């Protein structure tokens, strides 16, 4: 795991002198508000471009902002990067792909999992009940993620070939990876 806490506790200066996160409301954001936030941040690469880096052995991510209501991350992906099946516990979230392509997969018990390519310029949002996995579909994918309330715990899932699903609670600080290599295939 490559984790960069670059100015995670303070907002960054932007060219016009405004602080990018000071306009956020002092409350938890819903999934549509989170989607609007990641879409806005995608249009401001001066806030995240310096954090972009790639590795096939570990996913690179950088905390862009964290306060008591929202958590914002930049993630960089190659085809070797895979979160495994997971949820975001109590948090809603949104993802905006700013470069390359990710694949978002949703589990289908007793059926083939749904896999959707999400390319640069696209975003999606979800509630705390959403289970998915993200993988790099290109070797240069970059995405901006926002969560509210801020991540604290996540659920990591293993889905066996015969359809058995089990959940393990993990810290937000742990890098998500498939729990079982056989299940990731």
Which tokens is 171 given? 């810290």
Closest to 134 measured CA to CA, from 103, 106, 157: 103
Does 86 belong to an annotated binding site? yes
CA-based radius of gyration for the chain: 16
For strands 85-87 and 153-159, give the pairing.
antiparallel
Ramachandran region, residue 95 (left: φ > 0; alpha: ψ -120 to 50; beta: rest):
beta
Closest to 157 measured CA to CA, from 88, 75, 78: 88
Which residues fall in the annotated binding site for Fe cation?
86, 88, 132
Which residues fall in the annotated binding site?
86, 88, 132
């Amino acid at each position: 795991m490559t984790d960069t806490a670059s100015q995670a506790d303070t907002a960054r200066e932007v060219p016009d002198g405004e602080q990018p996160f000071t306009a956020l409301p002092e409350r938890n954001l819903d999934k549509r508000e989170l989607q609007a936030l990641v879409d806005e941040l995608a249009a401001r690469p001066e806030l995240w471009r310096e954090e972009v880096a790639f590795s096939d052995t570990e996913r690179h991510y950088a905390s862009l902002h964290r306060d008591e209501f929202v958590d914002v991350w930049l993630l960089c992906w190659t085809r070797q990067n895979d979160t495994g099946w997971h949820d975001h516990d109590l948090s809603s979230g949104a993802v905006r792909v700013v470069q390359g392509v990710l694949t978002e997969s949703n589990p289908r018990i007793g059926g083939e999992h749904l896999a959707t390519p999400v390319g640069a310029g696209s975003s999606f949002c979800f509630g705390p009940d959403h289970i998915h996995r993200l993988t790099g579909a290109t070797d240069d994918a970059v995405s901006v993620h926002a969560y509210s309330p801020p991540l604290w715990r996540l659920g990591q899932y293993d889905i066996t070939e015969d359809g058995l699903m089990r959940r393990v609670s993990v810290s937000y600080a742990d890098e998500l990876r498939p729990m079982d290599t056989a299940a990731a295939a």
